[in-house]
Structure formats: structure tokens, C-alpha cells
Amino acid sequence: VVFNQENDDLGAVEATEKVRQFLPNEFLKVLVCFLEGSMDVKKAFDVGVSEVQRRPFQPVILFERAKAIAAQRELLVKLLAEATRQGQLLSSILPEQVAHRLQMGEAQIAESHPEVSLFFSDVCGFTLMSASVPTREVVVFLNKLFCTMDVLSDHCQVFKVETIGDAYMAACGHLEGQTDHAKRLLKFARLVRRTARTIKMPTGATLRVRIGLNSGPAYTGVVGLKCPRFCFFGDTVNTAARMEQTGEPGHIHVSESFREVAVRQDSDLNAHFLERPNPVEAKGKGKLKTFWVLPAPPPPEEEEGTSEPTTASVPPPTKCGFG
């Protein structure tokens, strides 16, 4: 904005003062042309005038200065847009609070958490399926599955940690205020299990996922310079992975610690777990007492044969449950 007043600078100063209530100097430059002795230059700068030009002036010089100011503003807008884009990118791969700390210049982020809940899932039969169908179909299938799980994780306010092959890892409880992390992650796991029934694999078979959950202490930190990752470390992570590996297709397998935390957060959940008949032999962990999450009954419109499978080691479907 250019003000060019002959004798009175009051309008320019007042107008600038009002404009600055809404638009800072970074977004709008104000250039005032004035006669010698007709304006208090210090006052003008105090209220937010960006540039002043004494009269008489040469139009060419004034025009070039105006162009330079416009160029500065355009560059600033581009820089802000790029910073916003980078911030959004960081927030998509890191927790929002962690991304903000990195943007503020914090070099190394590492924290310990007394209690978190972790989720691992795996596509049953993925290796055989991927060897029998075109690669493109495998990628399209995984993209559909993981995008669906991403939406569910946002709905449950669960953080997606990473995907490796057909495996999906998620977490909850590492951020402030997530005191219901086990209950929240259990809801997410049930939604994933239910949604999987509606997805077909490239072979035409109904998708079945194996899910494992665990709760306990863990460490988190951002590692890597290229494509930085927010990682979880500790025995709790290993046990969560073992719960998935020793589970059954179409079922949710949880550790004793996860069940205890979930019931502590909501006592009504006690009826939704069934102890596995025999302890599970987990690599590096020995024999573990574990539990199944009881499946909900199929929706009325669900076709016969799509309910979760029953094996000798898996409890049959029950009316108890909510997902």
C-alpha cells in the first residue's frame, strides 16, 4: 500500500495503525510519501509504516522500491507456504508435539513412558498370495488395507507407527492425556478385525488378520536423518509382536498385562476376555499367560460363513463383545 499525501500525514499514520491490528508488516508493506517536515517519521515507523519516501521524489525510484517490497512479500509467502508444507509432512509421520519440537530446533528427542499400549497386525496367507498374483495387485491391496486402517486409527486417536511389508504397528499412551490407551487401542483392534471381513484379497478370499496387543513401559525417540522415524523400544514392543505371531487368523491375542490395564481403565471390559487354555511358548519370553478378545456376533446382514474361524485353540464366537 502506498500513501501519497501532500501536506497531511495524519490519514496515512491512522490508516496504518488500524491495518496493523489485522495484518503484520510481514504480510502487508506500507510505503508513505511525504513532504519534508510534514510527518513525524519516528511515529510513522512506530505504528507500522514499512518505508518512507521524502518528496519531491523520482517516480522511477519510487516504483523500483515498491517492486522490491512486493518481491520481498512474495518470497515470504513462498517461505511460509513451504514451512507449512514441511510442518504438515512432519505431522503426518511424527506425533504433532514431537514434530513441533523438531521445528523449534530440538536436536534429539528421546523419552521414557511408564505405560503404553501397542498393536501389531499381520495379513494371514500374505506370502502365498503375493507369490501367486501380479505385484501391482498386491500393492493395490495393501494400499487399500492400510489406508482403511489409517482412517480407523484417526477415528480412535491411535498413532500409526509404521508398516513393514504386510505388518502394521500402532501405539497409544505415549502422549499426554491418553489415560485410556488400552481401551482405545482395543477399540481400534476390534474395528480392524471387523473391517477386514469386508475386504477381499486379490485371490478372492476374505481377508483375515492376526492381531496382537500388549501394554507396559517403553521408550520412544526420533531416529534417522533421512526419512526420520518415531520409534518405540523396549521389551513391551517385543511382547506385543509375540502376541501377534502366536495368535490365530481373525482373532485378537493379548498379553496378561494388556488385559489388566484395559480392565483397570474400564472394569466392564473384564467380560470381553477369555484366557487361552494353555500358556503360549513365545520366542525369547518362555511360557506366557495370554487371552483372546471375544469376537462380537456378525451383523444381521452378514452372509453365512463370514464369521471368524473356530479352531481347537480359539474360542467360538460369543454374544459378549462390542466390535
- Domain residue ranges of the chain, discontinuous segments joined by +: 2-93, 109-293
Residue 301 confidence (pLDDT):
47
Number of neighbours of residue 231 by Cβ within 10 angstroms: 17
Grid cell of 221 as nine digits = 525417540
CA atoms within 13 A on the CB side of 119: 33
* Residues paired with 233 in a beta bridge: 219
* Residues paired with 255 in a beta bridge: 290
Residue 250 confidence (pLDDT):
92
Q: Give CA torsion, residues 265, 266, 267, 273, to 10 deg.
A: -100
Question: Domain spanning 2-93 has what CATH number?
Answer: 3.40.50.2300
Beta pairing, strands 159-164 & 167-172: antiparallel
Residue 309 confidence (pLDDT):
38
Rounded CA gap, 260 and 182, in Å?
9
Residue 305 confidence (pLDDT):
39
Residue 307 confidence (pLDDT):
40
- In Å, how far from its chain's centre is CA 129? 30
| Same fold across 2-93 and 109-293 | no
What would the pLDDT profile of 277-308 be if each residue is shown by its tens digit? 888 887 777 899 999 998 633 333 443 333 44
* Residues paired with 113 in a beta bridge: 218
Picking from 36, 1, 35, 34, the residue whose alpha carbon sits closest to that of residue 15 is 1
Q: What is the DSSP letter of 139?
A: H
Number of neighbours of residue 285 by Cβ within 10 angstroms: 15
Best CATH choice for the domain 109-293 from the list 3.30.2130.30, 3.30.70.1230, 1.20.120.450, 3.40.50.620 = 3.30.70.1230
Match 523520482 to its residue by C-alpha cell: 58
* Per-residue model confidence as pLDDT tens for the chain (323 residues): 455 555 444 577 777 777 777 667 656 667 776 656 556 677 777 877 776 666 656 666 666 766 776 776 666 666 656 555 655 556 566 777 777 677 666 767 888 999 999 999 999 999 999 999 999 999 999 999 999 999 999 999 999 999 999 999 999 999 888 899 999 999 999 999 999 999 999 999 999 999 999 999 999 988 877 777 889 999 999 999 999 999 999 999 999 999 999 999 999 999 999 999 888 887 777 899 999 998 633 333 443 333 443 333 333 433 333 34
Residue at 272: amino acid letter:
H
